[in-house]
Amino acid sequence: MVIVGIDLGTTYSAVSYMYEDGKPRILENQDGEKTTPSVVMFQNFGGDDEPLVGTQAKQQAKLMPEDLVQYIKRFMGDPSWKFDSSTGKSYTPEEVSAIILKRLKTGAELALGKEVTHAVITVPAYFDDARRTATRNAGTIAGLEVVRVLNEPTAAALAYGFSSDENGIILVYDLGGGTFDATLMKKTDDNYEVISTDGDRNLGGFDFDNLIINYVYEHLSEQGIETDDLSAEMEAEIREKAEQAKRALSSVDSTLIHLVVDKKPIRVEITKEEFDQLASSLVKRTIEITEDVLDESDVSWSDLDHILMIGGSTRMRIIKETLEEKSGKELKYEINPDEAVSLGAAVQAGIELVRLSKENADGVEVSEEIISSVEKVNIEDVTSQSLGTKAIDSNTDKEYNHILIPRNSKIPASGGSSFVTVGSTSRISVVTTEGDETDIKYVNILGETDVDLGRVVEKGHPITIKLSYDIDQTIYGEVFDEETDKLLKTFEINRDNNMSATQLKVASKNITDLKIN
């Protein structure tokens, strides 16, 4: 059994492994790189798809933009999203992610010289149930047994803990390619306690690229160029050059973007000052989320002992400058922002290995060094989404979201409430919700389950509904008849937004049959 830690990022992914010496290290991919662009190019070879993953796929983005899939993480858990390749096949977000994971798996096998069978995969802390399940399913389709889906900030803190002995209150500020997470944690020796977390799944480096793209478009319009008429190739070229310009501005004060549009050479200059101005509202949004996370736990900027900067986008100077100003501290990048999450996932992989060896699972070999480095590690995580049920307010007769487990509750968590039937009935329907809002319109419906009460009861009959959230982020519910004290039903959430077991089998077969480069 070989378990790797995988950071499946919006723009880049990385794989790490806990070596026998008890230290996690990053694994290089097939191209000798420590990170792999999460980009898939669907090449059509005689009517068959041969997906190309990573840097080579990214480099060809300009040439064949319609065959390219990027930022797939943003669509995880969305059942309506599909990519239609030129061979006429269509792929779900889980399948596209599985193609990336398979490439990562093969690369890790090459680096380690042995078959990789299991994985810990990280997700943003605020990923909801459908997105977590979709990520787990992507691993399964790729032929990996996913032993744990781990929150990215927790992984980053684990990596930090493995490189430093310092304790204290840690803010993990994670701005990646497509997502933002702010997490407050407390580290006491081997104990990692997540206090609160929040984020925005649609805020990342990609959005900063868009600011520069718009800036370039404005410049082109000023030159009399009709930007609506640009070819897909030119749009892809502008996107690539905008990202390069953004990266350049992390070290220089001004940069040039060169383009040739309609045979006319165009030069667009952008300075750090201009970029900072464009970026100010996105940066402000990350600060607002961070301050909400701090406020929720009555922690102020000055109470923070460490700020961990995670994700490639924290290299933007405006981010560093803003956080330094807010915290009054000089920020050090103590761990590599691109590698930390995958290194932390490898630590978790070590923990899982030790657990499985204690359970006498087949084929587990674990060294004394790994045991001694992880055996005392204890992680206390929290739920990132409130869970509840649909109920009717007896005063207004209106439906509302009744929260049973508030967000940021320690996992495992459970919570129940007492309700009464609105009329005389022999069945009730329990709707499980996810989200903070009281208005049912603004929360996710996770599932609906029908409960047979076993007899006709009068209006006002008392029923208890209890929800539980376990360490593996599985949600299940229980319904009790309060009068008889009887458990009427136990249910697991049937995830309508995720693939069924049969769909998973078909997808695994489809992806196994693909030649992935």
Q: Tell me, yes or no, if 193 is annotated catalytic.
A: no
176 interacts with ligand AMP by CB under 6 A: yes
Interface pick for ligand AMP out of 132, 239, 315, 466 (rule CB under 6 A): 315
What span, in angstroms and rounded, lies between the C-alpha atoms of 112 and 309?
Answer: 29
CB of 486 to ligand AMP, least distance (A): 50
Neighbours of 178 (CB within 10 A): 25
Closer Cβ to ligand AMP, 142 or 316, answer by number: 316
What span, in angstroms and rounded, lies between the C-alpha atoms of 275 and 212?
Answer: 7
| C-beta separation of 444 from 433 below 8 A | yes
Per-position x/- string for 132-171, each x denoting binding to ligand AMP as judged by CB under 6 A, each - no binding: ----------------------------------------
Per-position x/- string for 325-344, each x denoting binding to ligand AMP as judged by CB under 6 A, each - no binding: -------------x------
| C-beta separation of 72 from 65 below 8 A | no
Per-position x/- string for 194-213, each x denoting binding to ligand AMP as judged by CB under 6 A, each - no binding: -----------xx-------
Closer Cβ to ligand AMP, 313 or 408, answer by number: 313
Q: Tell me, yes or no, if 207 is annotated catalytic.
A: no
Q: Tell me, yes or no, if 152 is annotated catalytic.
A: yes
Question: Strand runs (DSSP E) across 126-179, as ranges?
Answer: 145-151, 168-175
Q: Which residue type occupies 450?
A: D
DSSP 116-130: --EEEEEE-TT--HH
What span, in angstroms and rounded, lies between the C-alpha atoms of 454 and 427?
Answer: 8
Cα separation of the two ends of the chain = 25
Interface pick for ligand AMP out of 312, 344, 350, 477 (rule CB under 6 A): 312
Interface pick for ligand AMP out of 1, 3, 12, 468 (rule CB under 6 A): 12
177 interacts with ligand AMP by CB under 6 A: yes
243 interacts with ligand AMP by CB under 6 A: yes
What does the block give as tokens for 497? 């937004």
49 interacts with ligand AMP by CB under 6 A: no
477 interacts with ligand AMP by CB under 6 A: no
Q: Tell me, yes or no, if 228 is annotated catalytic.
A: no
9 interacts with ligand AMP by CB under 6 A: yes
| C-beta separation of 12 from 38 below 8 A | yes
Among residues 49, 67, 129, 152, the one annotated as catalytic is 152
Q: How does DSSP classify residue 30?
A: T
What span, in angstroms and rounded, lies between the C-alpha atoms of 201 and 73?
Answer: 9
34 interacts with ligand AMP by CB under 6 A: no
Among residues 174, 181, 193, 209, the one annotated as catalytic is 174
183 interacts with ligand AMP by CB under 6 A: no
Interface pick for ligand AMP out of 187, 239, 246, 466 (rule CB under 6 A): 246
357 interacts with ligand AMP by CB under 6 A: no
Burial level of 392, CB count in 10 A (0-12/13-18/19+)? middle
316 interacts with ligand AMP by CB under 6 A: yes
Of 495, 377, 502, 473, the C-alpha closest to 150 is 473
Query: What dihedral angle (degrees, nearest 10) is formed by the CA atoms of 77, 78, 82, 83?
Result: -60
List residues with catalytic annotation. Answer: 7, 73, 152, 174
Residues within the interface to ligand AMP (CB under 6 A): 9-12, 176-177, 205-206, 243, 246-247, 250, 311-313, 315-316, 338
